[in-house]
A and B are shown apart, each in its own frame.
Chain A
Amino acid sequence: GQNIDQPTEMTATEGAIVQINCTYQTSGFNGLFWYQQHAGEAPTFLSYNVLDGLEEKGRFSSFLSRSKGYSYLLLKELQMKDSASYLCAVVDSNYQLIWGAGTKLIIKP
């Protein structure tokens, strides 16, 4: 079966760095997305990786290793507004999105 695993909840301190991991087992792979979702709102796009390596975009970076079925989202200089759920989603061989359950990130002052 298809499976996306990510931690349920993480806590970090304002100004610090946090890494949210995502491992996947899917039928084929055509890219991996990270979305941010604040409570009561729709998800917003953060990043898309299809090749191995690190992609940096401001305070957020996303890493992919296809051979390991592994990705992480790195958030630097954490701000209180970064408190949200972070969703990992993989595009499978049929170009369907397989969603993880999301990681709730709690930022403390």
Chain B
Amino acid sequence: GAVVSQHPSWVICKSGTSVKIECRSLDFQATTMFWYRQFPKQSLMLMATSNEGSKATYEQGVEKDKFLINHASLTLSTLTVTSAHPEDSSFYICSARAGDMGDTGELFFGEGSRLTVL
């Protein structure tokens, strides 16, 4: 199946710094990528949907100035957590969907990135 690579797998940073997480589709072109956040013992929470070459669509309650998403190419999307605070500590997961609207919508997930803000 299709492979999505996410990097870094885990990161520890100081409060107030910014952290960038990359999501790459290795063997297919991802027209749409999704970013999720998952707190311990909770389900996935969709943060934003990014389409290649256009601005990301953020879910209600997600600050777009704090969580910067860039999807500059068909194989790479990045999530930057700006001025991170301890409450931003979470498991961030990306997923990618190949093809155009009208496909089955199957998602291929990255391995996830665990962020700990001290």
Closest chain B residue to A45 by CB distance? B106
The A interface is mostly helix, strand or loop, or mixed, namely loop
**Closest B residue, CB atoms, query A42:** B109
Q: Which of B11-19, B78-86, B97-105 contacts A (4 or more CB under 8 A)?
A: B97-105
User: Which of the 9-residue segments A57-65, A76-84, A97-105 touches chain B?
Assistant: A97-105
Cα-based distance from A61 to B106 in the complex (angstroms): 18
Q: What is the interface residue range for chain B against chain A?
A: 20 to 34
| Chain B residue contacts of A33, Cβ below 8 A | 105-107
Residues of A contacting B46 in the complex (Cβ-Cβ under 8 angstroms): 99
Contact B43 A91 (CB under 8 A): no
Is the pair B106, A101 in contact by a Cβ cutoff of 8 Å?
no
Q: Does A12 contact B (CB under 8 A)?
A: no
A95 engages B105 (CB within 8 Å): yes
B44 and A99 contacting across the interface, CB-CB below 8 Å: yes
* Contact flags A1-45 to B (C-beta < 8 A → 1, else 0): 000000000000000000000000000001101000000111111
Residue positions of A touching B, CB distance < 8 A: 30-31, 33, 40-45, 48, 50, 85, 87, 91, 95-97, 99-102
